[in-house]
Structure 1
């Protein structure tokens, strides 16, 4: 394989093949975990490699997906330092503290280095550290000018233009973000598995931890379907259902103005504005206007979407369809919750005389939401009794 002499080895493939190639490289232990994939020449994405001496079977698998022999290895110079980003963060903070602490006769700095965040969320050019990061008194002991220099250096070593700190989600109807921006802007644009998102991260929550569920929903076959997304946000699931799953049209219900702005911007960026109808305001008012139009309803609100269950049942066509119900449930109570959820939907259908037989299909454990509490999604099929 010809890969030149400069930079790090990357495998560049068309972004439509990116998800399959990424999984293949990862499962074969040749994907470099400390260097980020990069966009390459427009429609391509390049994955960093630990080794370019692939096995014959891996070469054949890649060629089968890309329809190309594996000679598209490229060395892309100066993409990112190969050092672990956590090490880079610790190094730049340690240098900064060492210089300033020596001037101020402050305490030993190692405990503060050890307390640095071990994880963070990256949204395009913005890194958001977890709530409570950089909260010890030592950080406020320095001038705003000194801290600005630190934020600048952290952004540089993490290869972004903006950094901030996430705050606990607001206790309001729309679960608003309360992030504080330390440097740059909270307005973000990024591509997640070929899908464009644009929104204000200081006003809107976006959980990167739900990526597996977005992929799962996008992998379904929704060809020809009309979908109602009862809690659309900035298009977390609306966009994958349209772009990946092939839904014909999505009716997206959303009440948070910043989320609506992101939803509209994202639809335009993805070129799907003619296939999505945004219903602004409380879905208790918008969902009743969508009766009998949907093949599928998505109920993606945490900790519970229960307030919209009956309205989404009514939104299904007379021939029935599917519900995707998100909920936070204690692990030991999942089986009992599944049974009670089916009973509750059946009771709602009977009371509203919809004539559906309710059947639980698949339950997806998305992630841990809190100790002992799972974010789950229950796929539920609703069909006329005669079916």
Structure 2
């Protein structure tokens, strides 16, 4: 055999390296190793944690390993200082300052007196403030940016739904497409359950000139006001002088007053020679049903001066197999309410969006209702 000959050697493949644990799991392991020896055996480390991070806030769902057995019992058995050490370690590992458990808002929250649909959170780490505080500066606020839109809210008093991000994006794209070819005159939208600007901000970023929003939760209105400022949009919470250069006009009151408020703003604008805006979209983002605002939406659209298409985005919780029946019901209801108001309308549903699962077999759906108010 010459010295240039090579002998082929087959080596067994190297075993794959085990994946590195997530920083949150490493933090838990380090915490457990720091505990003094006791008769209480810690639970096995979870393979991963479920959570959401918004700015400096970490929200644990009620199904997280830390909030369910056996970890929940183990944590509650620890002395207070050890529990504090646990959450301090977790916060440091994930780069946050506040931790809370986030529970879903009960479907019957309105019937149970929670008319503002206040969030159900349990603070675990960080100073959230007094839940009874009245001053906006005395409580903790957090924020996030989705699709380039800044939003801020007070977790003690205002909910934030990550699952709505697809609908926010869809609304933006609809408006951007509709207005992509330009527009004649000013175009507006009305959000009858504006919250912290979940959908109102998508209308603004999509290109409408102004959004009018209503909410009875003062904390939501303040979050919406702050969020608009963060996006460099002019905002007014006192539009008694009529619409000027504001892109967002907020009302801290029941949306039953919307038609009257808009009628007054329209009158003042027309007196000033500026002309009214065409309301192209009305958003009804209340769950489990927004049927209470169908009539108000029609009254708002009656203020339009021309026979132009408009859309009402109706949010409803509905079983998948009942969606077709719900479409028929919505069209029928809009027709009946229009008759009560003395309006002549054409109503149809152009699209049904399945936003997210609400409960087993039940979906949060948005029905895009096309409404054409006919002038007689």
Aligned residues: 299
Secondary structure of 1:364's aligned partner: strand
Q: Trace 1:201-216 onto structure 2 (pairs within 5 A).
A: 201-216=155-170
162, 187, 196: which one pairs with 1:234? 196
Give the conservation status (yes or no) of the 8 Å contact 1:117–1:129.
no
Shift, 1:351, TM fit: 2.2
The residue number in structure 1 matching 2:223 is: 262
Shift, 1:189, TM fit: 2.3
Structure 1 Cα separation of the partners of residues 259 and 374 of structure 2:
24
Structure 2 Cα separation of the partners of residues 279 and 386 of structure 1:
29
Give the conservation status (yes or no) of the 8 Å contact 2:258–2:296.
no
118, 140, 154: which one pairs with 1:200? 154
The residue number in structure 1 matching 2:348 is: 359
Give the conservation status (yes or no) of the 8 Å contact 1:98–1:109.
no
Structure 2 Cα separation of the partners of residues 347 and 279 of structure 1:
28
Structure 1 Cα separation of the partners of residues 121 and 334 of structure 2:
37
Q: 1:213 to 1:168 in 2, by over 3 A?
A: closer
Unaligned runs of 5+ in 2: 1-18, 129-139, 180-185, 236-245, 267-277
Structure 1 Cα separation of the partners of residues 344 and 118 of structure 2:
38
Q: 127-136 vs 300-309, which deviates more?
A: 127-136
After superposition, give the CA deviation of every residue in 1:24-79 in whole Å (9 maximum; x if it has no partner).
Answer: xxxxxxxxxxxxxxxxxxxxxxxxxxxxxxxxxxxxxxxxxxxxxxxxxxxxxxxx
Alpha-carbon RMSD across the aligned residues, in angstroms, is 2.3
Does 2:306 correspond to 1:321? no
Does 2:301 correspond to 1:340? no
Structure 1 Cα separation of the partners of residues 337 and 200 of structure 2:
25
Shift, 1:108, TM fit: 4.7
Q: Trace 1:268-347 onto structure 2 (pairs within 5 A).
A: 268-272=229-233, 273=235, 274-290=246-262, 294-316=279-301, 317-318=304-305, 319=307, 320-347=309-336
Task: Provide the TM-score with structure 1 as the length reference.
Answer: 0.72
Unaligned runs of 5+ in 1: 1-82
The residue number in structure 2 matching 1:217 is: 171
151, 163, 173: which one pairs with 2:87? 151
After superposition, give the CA deviation of every residue in 1:184-237 in whole Å (9 maximum; x if it has no partner).
Answer: 344102222211111111211110111111000111236442111000000000
Structure 1 Cα separation of the partners of residues 121 and 373 of structure 2:
46
Shift, 1:367, TM fit: 0.8
After superposition, give the CA deviation of every residue in 1:315-372 in whole Å (9 maximum; x if it has no partner).
Answer: 0125251101111101111111111111111121122121111011011111111110
Give the conservation status (yes or no) of the 8 Å contact 1:314–1:354.
no
Does 2:191 correspond to 1:191? no
After superposition, give the CA deviation of every residue in 1:269-327 in whole Å (9 maximum; x if it has no partner).
Answer: 11112211101111123344335862220101111111110011110125251101111
Does 2:38 correspond to 1:97? no
Q: 140-149 vs 216-225, which deviates more?
A: 216-225
Q: 1:167 to 1:287 in 2, by over 3 A?
A: farther
Structure 2 Cα separation of the partners of residues 183 and 330 of structure 1:
38
Q: 1:342 to 1:117 in 2, by over 3 A?
A: farther
165, 173, 179: which one pairs with 2:121? 179
Shift, 1:120, TM fit: 1.8
Give the conservation status (yes or no) of the 8 Å contact 1:358–1:383.
yes
Give the conservation status (yes or no) of the 8 Å contact 1:179–1:203.
no
